[in-house]
A and B are shown apart, each in its own frame.
Chain A
Amino acid sequence: MPQLTMTELWWCDECIKGTALMVKKLGALAQISNDPQLRNICHTLRQNHQRHLDILVNQIASV
């Protein structure tokens, strides 16, 4: 099984942190938005970021 390089680890770490922050942020923005369309967009994006976060974590765990 290949081992992650330090560079890969750093970039994955930053991606995970940024994605996790977007998940929190989109959840909060969806609650304060007035436009249902915008709220729906925030929900969709939040779900996508949540899924991305899972993918990244699983990817690192598999290495």
Chain B
Amino acid sequence: MSHIEADDRKSLTDWRLVLVLVAFSALALAIAVRLVMLHTVEQPFLFEQGEKRTVRDEVQLASRGDILDRRGRPLAVSTPVFTLWLNPQIINLQQIPAVANILGMSTSKLTKRVRRAASEGRSFFYLKRQVSPAVAKDITAQRVAGVYAEDDFRRFYPAAEVTAQLLGIIDVDQRGQEGVELAYNKYLKGHDGARRVVKDLYGNVVKQLAVKSHPESGSALQLTLDLRLQYIAYRELKAAVQQHKAKSGSAVMLDAKTGEVLALVSRPSYNPNNRSQLDARQMRNRALVDVLEPGSTIKPFTVAAALESGKFNPDSIVNTHPGYVRVGKKTIRDHRNYGELDLTSVITKSSNVGTTQLAAEVGAESLWQLLSDVGIGQSDVLGMPGEVVGSLPYPEQMDDLRLATSSFGYGMSVSALQLARAYSVFQNGCQRNIHLVKNDAIDSSCHRIISEKTAAQVRQMLETVTSDRGTGSRARVPGYRVGGKTGTAHKVGRGGYEDSAYTAVFAGLAPLTDPDLVLVVVVDEPQGKEYYGGEVAAPVFSRIMQQSLNLRQIAPDQPLQSLVMRGGEI
């Protein structure tokens, strides 16, 4: 009996063993089949899904190049910051208060935003752009899954409103939008890098799969601008615009010997580092974009054309009696009857009748040729965005009346920069390329327009304008011989020239012995009793020019009124 029981038990054991073996074999086979399936049939799908969750094509931003002034002072610099973004599909809603608290955001608003984005199936939105590294560090320290920090850059403009319109701005994607930032965007922006990486849940790079390109920072751009002169020009212009309650103003200073732009300012201005109150009107670079009728500031060119014609010399007499002249159906008037004037006095007294007679004698062709040669109405100067070309009527368009009005600066339009370029011709009779960027490749040769003798004669005439009997006596600078011309042009409105809206201009050079600086000051629509160029723009010219000559250490070329030594007067 026990033998039979023992055999039955052994048989049962063998059977169980076989069953277990078969079961395990089947299991092993199933696993093997599944493995084969995963590695063959489903492999492409699984590989793609895996990569979607971990592999990222990452753009590595290139730093934008700095903009520097002529002495290497920074005008625009980029600093590393971070941009925070969020994946609503991953983030744990309970962690939102901590994130909102650090960023100073409303928890309820952020929660709503995340819920809405998650319900729309979105997996990306910007949490906050361009946050400081300290804030980004606080956020990443929270180790919130679904919140990521990416490298970014923020642009700072140390001189703020002083250089605002000239430099312009960039957008959040580092693209130039205005001014130098836009004009030289390709040069400044550099090239972003690209790589393929594996990232973990928190956005950390755990493996780099491929580098497609390395980021290359943008090149630094050095301007010819002198920040010190720019500041002086801005401060004085701002004071004048405020004092005269003017609508706007601009000033341009050029190096008369090289054609470099040393200062270029506009009012009103804005702070490019804080654009919350930004008004588009403040962004206008009025020295380049706004046109004005140059008015009497054109008269020196009419006189220069007369001198170049060979028919006149500085002592030639022009009879302006009785103080007006009929041209066609119009009457051109002087302020009063100046009688007989020599050419110098035509400039000193700013006689419209005198220049009308000179233009009639010289002819439309010669006057147009000179004005176009100095760049009036011919082309933009710097190639900056929005820069105006201005206008100058062709000789064949000039009837007697148009020729007459052109001789004293009406019926044409220029920018402040164009006027400054035109005046640079009086340095020695030739004109150089006006440029804003330091560049050895720029052609520094001088293009002759009028003779050196004519330039010197016109300079002497311009000096009389700043004398006691001239219209621009308030433009004088102690210790220096200064020459220039005032201009007061009626503004053009819908119904033609307006009676009570003026543009006050002063354009000049200093020191006249060997001109170093050309400066043009424009004040648009000054309010109050003073509105003439000699009253509004000339004092600004004087203040800017005086400080600039001192800063540039230009030797005085005029005896000082009194020279005092320690211990007594000499």
Task: Decide whether A and B assemble into one complex.
Answer: no
